[in-house]
Amino acid sequence: MQISYNDGMLGPYEQGTALSLPMVSDYLQSKFDDNERRGKNRDKAETRRLMLRVREHITTLVDDCAPPAELTRLQKAKLRLHECEESANSRLAALPADGTNVFLDATEGATALPALRVTMHPFEVVQLGTLMPKTAAEAVALIPSLRRFESEDLFHAIASLHGSVHLGAKA
């Protein structure tokens, strides 16, 4: 697999877990509490001060992030791909065929095939929830791999993070 961060291909990092700031904050809090219970923080005043400062900074940043529940919901949402991003084979798969793999004549009363919908990569969802862009264009500028999605779908995803539109709701 070729690494192309702009296309969302992360190579060896593909298997990693994308952590949002609220997740990091919760993890640090649990480690801090665990160390307090064990008495480890009392022995190392410098370590304790550092952990408190880091927690304070992350807590400040978390206030500007999307809530974890919204990120979970967004991760399940399927966004339409730009037509140019879809492969010819994926479009052929939607053509009607009989049992012998012979494509049927779909010209009579044919309608446009529905756009292929896919979920975002976990790191894209976390970046959206952390950076909180205001527009689809800003999101693509900050996270280039999002360019594969239709602008309208990105707009709705961003709006849902800001709490003004919910995915799946009818306008």
Alpha-carbon span 38 to 31, nearest angstrom: 11
Q: Are the C-beta atoms of 94 and 113 separated by less than 8 Å? A: yes
Alpha-carbon span 112 to 86, nearest angstrom: 14
- Residue 97, φ and ψ in degrees, nearest 5: -140, 155
Q: What is the pLDDT of residue 167?
A: 43
In terms of Cα–Cα distance, which of 85, 63, 65, 86 is closest to 74?
Answer: 65
Any idea what DSSP says for residue 79?
E
Q: What is the pLDDT of residue 142?
A: 94
pTM of the model as a whole? 0.65
Residue extents of the structural domains in the chain: 20-62, 68-85+115-161
Q: Are the C-beta atoms of 58 and 148 separated by less than 8 Å? A: no
> Each residue's pLDDT tens digit in the chain (171 positions)?
565 655 566 666 667 778 888 888 888 888 888 877 887 666 677 777 887 888 888 888 888 888 888 888 999 999 998 776 544 444 444 555 455 544 444 454 445 556 688 889 898 999 999 999 999 999 999 999 999 999 999 999 999 888 843 444 443
Identity at 146, one-letter amino acid code? L
Q: What is the pLDDT of residue 82?
A: 78
Q: Are the C-beta atoms of 5 and 48 separated by less than 8 Å? A: no
